[in-house]
Chain A
Amino acid sequence: MENILSVRDLTVDIPLAAGTLHAVRGLDFDVKRGETLCVVGESGSGKSLTSLAIMGLLPKQAQRSAQVLDFEGIDLQKASNRDMRKLRGNRISMIFQEPMTSLNPAYTIGDQLIEALLLHRKVSKSVARNRAIELLEKVGITAAANRIKQYPHQLSGGLRQRVMIAMALMGEPDLIIADEPTTALDVTIQAQILRLLKDLQRELNMAMILITHDLGVVARVADKVAIMYAGEMVESGSAAEVFTAPKHPYTRGLLNCIPVPGKTAVGEPLGSIPGIVPSLIGDVTGCAFRTRCSEATPQCSADIPARVPSEGHFYRCVHDYDGPASPSMNLPKSEEA
């Protein structure tokens, strides 16, 4: 199956007073129809900027460049504002993190849903209205015909996020980008929303990029995983592969942080990765993770080679890792460092 979205060497730079912030540095990834790619990273890793870069919604000062930024044959870099507008909400839709503030408080959800369709299709308002009701029901909102007249402030966070999803689907997109769609929601609602997204994706055969910092989410929905650290992709591959055979020290560190009932010994301190993300302002060389890596060597400050240990599995590291991936990995405890 062909790739819907292909990205090679995506870079986002933001000029600041203190220097240029290299927020996203040379990302490569592809997404196919029906496939879910999870982009994982902590705050500041550049994952949200990546999604905005694809949509063309970066802030004015930001500079985007890429070798390939292709959506279904359309070169997104060359696309004018007008062309991008035709794609947004139509063939590529986006769902954001904050359902509480992502809907316009002055208009009914019906108005906003209808607008999402009418921007791209010449249909009558009643047709759009019916489709809105249909989609609201599909995302699990009961009494949709009444809800349509309600204002955002009359709905709970979970409901608003469902509305956002419905709105993203109005244009029947080929690709959905969901930026931490469940982070701001209660844990119980999270599971529902994720299941909903997955079902919809399957039904409508869409490609989905889901951005998150929560490995639990990844485990639930991902087909492919891309681990981002400090603006770079440090490991990527199928979800099964990355979870069972993680190669990059960061990935292994992340997985080690998750306590596994039955495997993690009682009384043992939970794993953590000491240190903080380094500054990306000004020139950045070598591996950005080396300041926190227990396996760092002096070579880590030079260029880092890409490694492909198996088909579709990629990571960047100076070292070739062959060790175990279980949670009881031998990472140094904080007192010993």
Chain B
Amino acid sequence: MLVYTLKRLGLALLVTLAVSILSFALLYLSGDPAAAIAGETANADDIEAVRIYYGLNRPLVVQYGEWMFNAIRGDFGESYYFKLPVSQLVAERLSVTMLLGLCGISFALLTAVPLGVAAAVRPNSIIDRVALFLSVTGQAIPSFWFGLILIVLFSIKLRILPPSGSDSWQNFVMPTIVLGYYAMPAIMRLTRAGMLDVLGADYVRTARAKGAGEFRVMFKHALRNAIIPVVSVAAVQMGFMLGGSIVVESIFALHGAGYLAWESIGRNDLPTVQALILVFSMFYVVFTFLSDLLNAWLDPRMRVG
């Protein structure tokens, strides 16, 4: 088991490394960073000065090497815009994003799993059709539009929720819904399919033959097995949510890492963007790794060496 874990960890690190190399190459090769930083009104001399100042005239490999070397020690350089260490900037904003992500996935799970179970227990009933309808429509609504609609509804018409800012918990309600709803259809469908499968399984019949009541059969025996693939999907979705936070945070003006990413891209603040890409991909990798561990814990059959 330990060897397996270490192997997976090693692979995860490699993936993160590859992502950082790729994004570094993308950023520093797409167009001319020096020109982008210098701005539209700069002339050739200004651009050259910028290039020398930021060390952008060195070979790419050297630039990357230096960046990686520092990054390992937690130094992501200095923001072109804020003149502050990038690590500090990111650390400040990350907590908001993490909180939002956790709320989002919790919202998705708390609505989608019960709905999926209910739909599976009563297939082709009203609740099944409602669940199906929600999942089909949910996947088609653009998230940014959904956010705006919610603002119109809850902030403008009903005036019960604030449209922007990050002071109180009310600021997080709509962003949570917008971030979470996109993961709901997948989780609901998976729960429903898994439950349908499992409810027909022999061991469920055995549980009933032992005299177990319906609730026990459904939750202790059936759901316990059906939830296993859902856990993987939920963890992966959590990873995606960090990326999706960009849109949500900018609509609701939540000062998290996503918002920072958007701002930094707009300002060509490459060190910040590079650091954020690394951080987001690391989180994804960590979450998938955790979901593998969780999977092994939930399904004893996976605990092979």
A residues in contact (CB < 8 Å) with B: 55, 57, 85-90, 93-94, 96, 98, 101-107, 115-116, 119-120, 151, 153, 164, 167, 171
- In Å, the complex CA distance between A292 and B225 comes to 46
Q: Which of B55-63, B83-91, B201-209 contacts A (4 or more CB under 8 A)?
A: B201-209
How far in angstroms is the closest Cβ of chain A from B214? 8
Given A102-B205, A104-B225: A167 and B301 within 8 A (CB)?
Answer: no
Which interface residue of A87, A103, A105, A151 has the most chain B CB atoms within 10 A? A105
How far in angstroms is the closest Cβ of chain B from A99? 9
Asked if B206 and A102 sit within 8 Å, CB to CB, the answer is yes
Question: 4 closest A-B pairs (Cβ-Cβ)?
Answer: A89-B210, A89-B211, A88-B211, A101-B202
- In Å, the complex CA distance between A94 and B208 comes to 10
- Answer yes or no: B255 CB below 8 A from chain A CBs: no
How far in angstroms is the closest Cβ of chain B from A204? 18
Asked if A86 and B211 sit within 8 Å, CB to CB, the answer is yes
Asked if B299 and A88 sit within 8 Å, CB to CB, the answer is no
Asked if A90 and B202 sit within 8 Å, CB to CB, the answer is no
Closest to B228 in A: A106
- In Å, the complex CA distance between A89 and B207 comes to 9
How far in angstroms is the closest Cβ of chain A from B193? 18
- Answer yes or no: B213 CB below 8 A from chain A CBs: yes
Asked if A120 and B211 sit within 8 Å, CB to CB, the answer is yes
- In Å, the complex CA distance between A101 and B205 comes to 10
Query: What are the residues of chain B within 8 A of A167 when measuring CB–CB?
Result: 206, 210
Residues of B184-242 whose CB lies within 8 A of A: 201-203, 205-213, 221, 224-225
How far in angstroms is the closest Cβ of chain A from B10? 28
How far in angstroms is the closest Cβ of chain B from A270? 34
Asked if B224 and A85 sit within 8 Å, CB to CB, the answer is no
Closest to B209 in A: A94
User: What are 22 A-B residue pairs whose CB atoms fall within 8 Å in the complex?
Assistant: A55-B209, A85-B212, A86-B211, A88-B210, A89-B210, A89-B212, A96-B206, A96-B209, A101-B201, A102-B202, A102-B205, A104-B206, A104-B207, A104-B221, A104-B225, A105-B301, A106-B299, A106-B300, A115-B210, A119-B211, A151-B300, A167-B206
Contact for A85 among B206, B211, B221, B301, CB less than 8 A: B211
- In Å, the complex CA distance between A102 and B202 comes to 5
Contact for B298 among A86, A106, A115, A120, CB less than 8 A: A106
Which interface residue of B208, B210, B212 has the most chain A CB atoms within 10 A? B210
Binary CB contact string for chain B from 272 to 305 against chain A (1 if under 8 A, 0 otherwise): 0000000000000000000000000011110000
Asked if B206 and A57 sit within 8 Å, CB to CB, the answer is no
How far in angstroms is the closest Cβ of chain A from B232? 15
Asked if B203 and A105 sit within 8 Å, CB to CB, the answer is yes
- In Å, the complex CA distance between A96 and B205 comes to 9
Closest to A86 in B: B211
Query: What are the residues of chain A within 8 A of B210 when measuring CB–CB?
Result: 88-89, 115-116, 119, 167
- In Å, the complex CA distance between A164 and B212 comes to 16
Given A101-B203, A102-B202, A106-B225: A88 and B208 within 8 A (CB)?
Answer: yes
Query: What are the residues of chain A within 8 A of B225 when measuring CB–CB?
Result: 104-106
- In Å, the complex CA distance between A164 and B208 comes to 14
Asked if A98 and B202 sit within 8 Å, CB to CB, the answer is yes
Closest to B303 in A: A151
Query: What are the residues of chain B within 8 A of A115 when measuring CB–CB?
Result: 210, 212
Asked if B211 and A102 sit within 8 Å, CB to CB, the answer is no
Contact for A119 among B201, B212, B299, B300, CB less than 8 A: B212
Query: What are the residues of chain A within 8 A of B208 when measuring CB–CB?
Result: 57, 88
Asked if A93 and B209 sit within 8 Å, CB to CB, the answer is yes
How far in angstroms is the closest Cβ of chain A from B202? 4
- In Å, the complex CA distance between A90 and B210 comes to 7
Closest to A55 in B: B209
Which interface residue of B209, B225, B301 has the most chain A CB atoms within 10 A? B209
Closest to A120 in B: B211
How far in angstroms is the closest Cβ of chain A from B265? 45
- In Å, the complex CA distance between A227 and B208 comes to 28
Binary CB contact string for chain B from 17 to 51 against chain A (1 if under 8 A, 0 otherwise): 00000000000000000000000000000000000
Contact for B301 among A86, A102, A116, A153, CB less than 8 A: A153
How far in angstroms is the closest Cβ of chain B from A322? 43
Query: What are the residues of chain A within 8 A of B221 when measuring CB–CB?
Result: 104
Asked if B300 and A96 sit within 8 Å, CB to CB, the answer is no
- In Å, the complex CA distance between A120 and B211 comes to 8
How far in angstroms is the closest Cβ of chain A from B305? 13
Query: What are the residues of chain B within 8 A of A106 when measuring CB–CB?
Result: 224-225, 298-300
Query: What are the residues of chain A within 8 A of B213 when measuring CB–CB?
Result: 85
Asked if A103 and B224 sit within 8 Å, CB to CB, the answer is no
Query: What are the residues of chain B within 8 A of A120 when measuring CB–CB?
Result: 211
